[in-house]
Amino acid sequence: MSTETLAAGLETALPTTLFRFATAGSVDDGKSTLVGRLLHDSKAILADTLDAVARTSADRGFGGEKGGIDLALLTDGLRAEREQGITIDVAYRYFATDRRSFILADCPGHVQYTKNTVTGASTADAVVVLIDARKGVLEQTRRHLSVLQLLRVAHVIVAVNKIDLVDFSEQVFRDIETDVQKVARELGLGSDGVADLLVVPVSALDGDNVVDRSERTPWYTGPALLEVLETLPAADELEAELESFRFPVQLVIRPQGALAPDAVAAGLDVEAYRDYRAYAGQITEGSVKVGDEVSVISPGHEPRTTTVIGIDFAGQSLDEAAAPQSVAIRLADEIDIARGDTIAAAGTVRESTADLYASLAWLSPKPLREGQKVLVKHGTRTVQALVRNVTGKLDLATFNVEPASTLELNDIGHAQLRLAAALPLENYLHHRRTGAFLVIDPIDGNTLAAGLVKDHPGDHEDERYVI
């Protein structure tokens, strides 16, 4: 390709949008190979990396006499992983097509799978779950789908891998597809308008239906995996549509005398900016316009209503901004606002509460105990909290809630916490950002759990712990 045609191609391709997805699978279902295949076939692997992988593959005798490249080696980053042939930690990969730039969170299946899947899925627009066509739906598949349902991942794609090893059999694929749909129905996955589910037959090793549609699966008329990833709407597109503007304040920008010298040199009116005061943050959902009425939510105050008089971004004045933009907002009234407060569309936030009913994905080797003191980080505020009781534990294989009084590593359960300050908590089902929180160990600062706000105490009297 000549430089000229490439330049022309780049110009027409811009601007691309971003799409984040994660992969989850069980041991030996070929996940690393699938990721390697996506990177390789979308030409994201550069020659020196490929050379190194080819050399290692040959050294280890990959593919026997036939040879070949072990694509799994492309994703194993740490020395221990390469030596043991396993993946330990979530790894992030990057590739792009003409339509989109992709961020791939590659989540290992067998060690701390819940921790890794929860981590990868929390920021993902879609998750690809792998199933070995020879093995079908395993208990691990049910666990993965269960976690994805809990986290309300917008799109779940089940890749039925190694379809070449079952002679591209339509019957095998259809049986697995039926099983997957049955599990999805049991979970409610795809039934609540939040998530949708797609099943694709692939061979990661040979590339069938990964980047291009395969001629060896004529009975499958759907898109190849990459086509799906290129066209699904991203979570922030879905969230920007929400009417409820939410803006956790990160900090107050109030330079007083300390204006940026480069801005002053570029002609900033020093007098006009002497009393500048704006609230900096990232819009977590919805959108805001200059002139909008907003409520300011701070602990210990009734919500205060005021008007947006400016939306600033690094010297630009915007008329409107939407999730996930980082901006600075100016308000009409002088209100005492600090980090941790939330600015929201007027009248759309329910009363703040100190009673937190939540699902917790427990990510620490230290178990959860009733009566334990923890920290809760919600938006830009961290408060102390007391674990009042554990109200149940999810059996990920049967989807039943079992009685429990503790949660251990990789458990998902329900608990009731009492917060030291009332927070504007919202149900995670409808608010993926303002319904999420971290549970942090006050002793060593480690993250103990991913928390999902279940409901508002005003919602139910008797049915609080129903999933």
Partner 1 sequence: MSTYTKEESTVEVAAAVDAPSVERLSSLDTLESEAIHIIREVVAEFEKPALLFSGGKDSVVMLHLATKAFWPGKVPFPVLHVDTGHNFPEVIDFRDRTVERLGLKLVVGSVQEFIDRGELAERADGTRNPLQTVPLLDAIQRNKFDAVFGGGRRDEDKARAKERILSLRDEFGQWDPRNQRPELWNLYNGRHTVGQHVRAFPISNWTELDIWRYIERENIELPSLYYAHEREVFARDGMWRAVGEVSQPLPNEDVITKLVRYRTVGDMSCTGAVESDARTVADVVVEVAASTLTERGATRADDRISEAAMEDRKKDGYF
Q: How far apart are CA 373 and CA 196, in angstroms?
A: 38
Q: Which one, 16 or 389, has the nearer CB to partner 1?
A: 16
In the complex, minimum distance from the CB of residue 180 to partner 1, in angstroms, rounded to a whole number? 8
DSSP state of 338: -
Cβ-based neighbours of 461, under 8 Å, separated by 6 or more: none
396 exposed, middle or buried (CB, 10 Å; 0-12, 13-18, 19+)?
A: buried
In the complex, minimum distance from the CB of residue 115 to partner 1, in angstroms, rounded to a whole number? 6
ω into 201 cis (within 30 of 0): no
Q: Which one, 261 or 403, has the nearer CB to partner 1?
A: 261
Q: Which one, 44 or 165, has the nearer CB to partner 1?
A: 44
Residue type, 436: A
Name the region of 464 (left: φ>0; alpha: ψ -120 to 50; beta: rest): alpha
| Total count of residues recorded for the chain | 467
In the complex, minimum distance from the CB of residue 1 to partner 1, in angstroms, rounded to a whole number? 7
Q: Which one, 17 or 405, has the nearer CB to partner 1?
A: 17
CA angle 134, 139, 144 (to 5 degrees): 100
Q: How far apart are CA 2 and CA 253, in angstroms?
A: 48
Calculate Rg over the CA atoms of the chain.
25
In the complex, minimum distance from the CB of residue 336 to partner 1, in angstroms, rounded to a whole number? 17
Please name the residue ranges forming H helices in 14-165.
31-41, 47-59, 79-84, 113-122, 139-150
Q: Which one, 26 or 116, has the nearer CB to partner 1?
A: 116
Q: What tokens were used for 333?
A: 């009234």
In the complex, minimum distance from the CB of residue 437 to partner 1, in angstroms, rounded to a whole number? 7
In the complex, minimum distance from the CB of residue 60 to partner 1, in angstroms, rounded to a whole number? 13
Q: How far apart are CA 411 and CA 45, in angstroms?
A: 37
Q: Which one, 163 or 328, has the nearer CB to partner 1?
A: 328
Q: Which one, 44 or 305, has the nearer CB to partner 1?
A: 44
In the complex, minimum distance from the CB of residue 11 to partner 1, in angstroms, rounded to a whole number? 10
